Amino acid sequence: MWAILCEVVQIPDITQTISDTAYLAYEKKLMKEVKQYPLPQHIAIIMDGNRRFAKELGLDPAEGHRMGRDKLEEVLGWCLDIGIRVLTVYAFSTENFMRSTAEVQLLIKLFEENFRKLGDDERVHKHGIKVRVLGRRNLLPDSLISAIEYAENRTKDYNNYFFNLAVAYGGRQEIIDAIREIARDVKEGKISVNDISEELVSSKLYTKDLPDPDLILRTSGEERISNFLLWQMAYSELYFVDVYWPGFRKIDLLRAIRAYQLRQRRFGK
């Protein structure tokens, strides 16, 4: 009733002001807390829930994907504020190609726009963010490959921060690609079977020059990994948040990091 009255007489909604103030105070408190402890070097995110978020608002699923795209830009900024050096996001899986043609085409179009935008983003160049795509890009249309290469080439010399987008990606497929490369090396006599080790396999993955993720976060309330970074996540901390990706807030990210900091990582010891 108060909100309706405020709208009718065009006066500020005090309750909303109080709510915003409380949120900002809580966010500031969380930020101060996480800064007091070692931060995860590498955070990986399974961005889930775009379509369900749109459905609950009575919107077309396409709007959910657009809001999800905008949210990713926000999250990149949050990671810079917090001091996270490596961010990897699950943007499009190999299984996603099985969705409707219209939805796949929309996502491809959004990806093309985003990679061109990343290549020209002043924030990317100011902070020295290297942009890279992980996945089987041979499955992608030439127009998207061109946009990916534009962003990658414009940021290839940066090494302050790393922003990785898994597109046409599957964890099992990544491991298979690594096995095939190792098998070719054995066949050609470059290495022997006894040379095969965890380090060798890691060196053949798409993430070969990146640290394994310290924290893997999934939105939407689903508690599964969905074929994401299967090799790399061996000792990652997992965190699931019951919020759809477009509704993900900075305090949700800060809470995930705080939970990570409170855990004791044993690495099997």
Tell me, what CATH number does 63's domain have? 3.40.1180.10
pLDDT of residue 118: 97
Judge whether residue 10 has pLDDT over 60.
no
List residues bridging with 162 in a β-sheet.
86, 130
Judge whether residue 11 has pLDDT over 50.
no
Q: Does 27 fall in a domain?
A: no
Q: Does 21 fall in a domain?
A: no
Q: Does 267 fall in a domain?
A: no
The rounded mean pLDDT for the chain is 93
pLDDT of residue 3: 46
Give the integer Cα–Cα distance in Å for 170 and 96. 10
Q: Does 84 fall in a domain?
A: yes
Judge whether residue 14 has pLDDT over 90.
no
pLDDT of residue 221: 94
Q: Does 3 fall in a domain?
A: no
CB neighbours of 146 closer than 8 A, spacing ≥ 6? none
One of 50, 81, 96, 114 is an active-site residue; which one? 96
Q: What pTM value is reported for the model?
A: 0.90
Give the integer Cα–Cα distance in Å for 81 and 166. 23
Q: Does 266 fall in a domain?
A: no
Domains: count for the chain? 1
Told to judge if 153 belongs to the known catalytic residues of this protein, a careful annotator would answer: no
Q: For 60-82, what is the mean pLDDT?
A: 97
Q: Does 93 fall in a domain?
A: yes
Judge whether residue 218 has pLDDT over 50.
yes
Q: Does 145 fall in a domain?
A: yes
pLDDT of residue 268: 66
The answer to whether the CB of 205 falls within 8 A of the CB of 134 is no
Told to judge if 96 belongs to the known catalytic residues of this protein, a careful annotator would answer: yes
pLDDT in tens, 124-176: 999 999 999 999 999 999 999 999 999 999 999 999 999 999 999 999 999 99
**Confidence band for 13, pLDDT divided at 50, 70 and 90:** low
pLDDT of residue 264: 83
Among 33, 127, 39, 41, residue whose Cα is nearest residue 80: 127
Q: For 64-76, what is the mean pLDDT?
A: 97
pLDDT in tens, 222-263: 999 999 999 999 999 999 999 999 999 999 999 999 999 999
Query: Residue 116 belongs to what domain range?
Result: 49-252
